[in-house]
Chain A
Amino acid sequence: MTGAAEDARLLRQLRVADFLSREAKLLDEWRLEEWLALFTDDARYVVPGTDDPQADPSRSLVLVDDDRERLGWRVKRLLSGHAHREFPWSRTRRIVSNVLVEDSPPGRIFAGASFVVWRFRHRHADPFIGHADYDLVDDGAGLRIAAKRITIDQESLSPNGALSMIL
């Protein structure tokens, strides 16, 4: 790769890493309305089960398969004070790393990152460890998320028991 192309790739990588760090901060601080605003109107947010990370949610049972509308309800629910597993909110800390940017068509960035999310509640420390794949819209108005798909590395949601917060 020539010097200029390599520089452009690294710059994109840096923009995405910066964006993902900001996304993680919004989630850690429970600023979920602002987090939701990062998504496009036709966005999809998917968390497959631990048994099959490749699962197609239109044919297989997964854990979460939200369009933008249901993602909105998810946020509303978590902010209501009546989502009992998250009221009071658990303390979380997301470490996002290994950000990689793939070849992408113009106006889009396909990217991936590994994460460790620590969740603290009821004197337990429950980690979620995995990887997130993003389809980002890059149209000059700042990055937005068109699709986010999670892979959880653990064999079972154990001992954490539920996906009560947002990964």
Chain B
Amino acid sequence: MTNAPDRFALLQRLLHWLMAVCIFVMLFIGVGMVSTVAPKYLPLILIHKTLGVALLFLVLMRLALRLYYGAPPLPADLPRATKVGAALSHQALYALMIVMPLLGLGMLWAAAYPVVLYGGIQIPALLPQSDGVHTLLWNAHFYLGFAFFALVLLHLAAGLFHALIRRDGVFEKMALFRLPGRTAP
């Protein structure tokens, strides 16, 4: 265990927090834009599409880094069930980060809307118009969006639990800075 890193690589940590902020923004803009008819609807949906596609690129980078660097081990005294839960929830987060943007894009393609991002970047359609496909992808984007938010909250709660209550160094693995007076066990 001596050569196992005690925290994620700097690039991994930077990406984690950048994406965390962006995903929060995406979820809030998502539910906000679909519930307004005000002029801000247009800039909000433009940000939603642009940031969502950007996140797709970021998560691919992040997965590559994860495969290359791996992850530091969890504390040995963590109950087995907790470890399994952590692994599963992290896999689900990765899956959602990949799937949500793809569903968003697919839903627009299947509705024959041109997909134009900030700066006029145009994404060509990879699906033909289809009522059935549009509805399927719309439902998936909708329900998984809420599941995503729930999972993000759970993840946040677990992180804070490690940071404030267990104080077992798990939070510090992803923290951007070493907290004063704390060392990984």
B partners with A = no
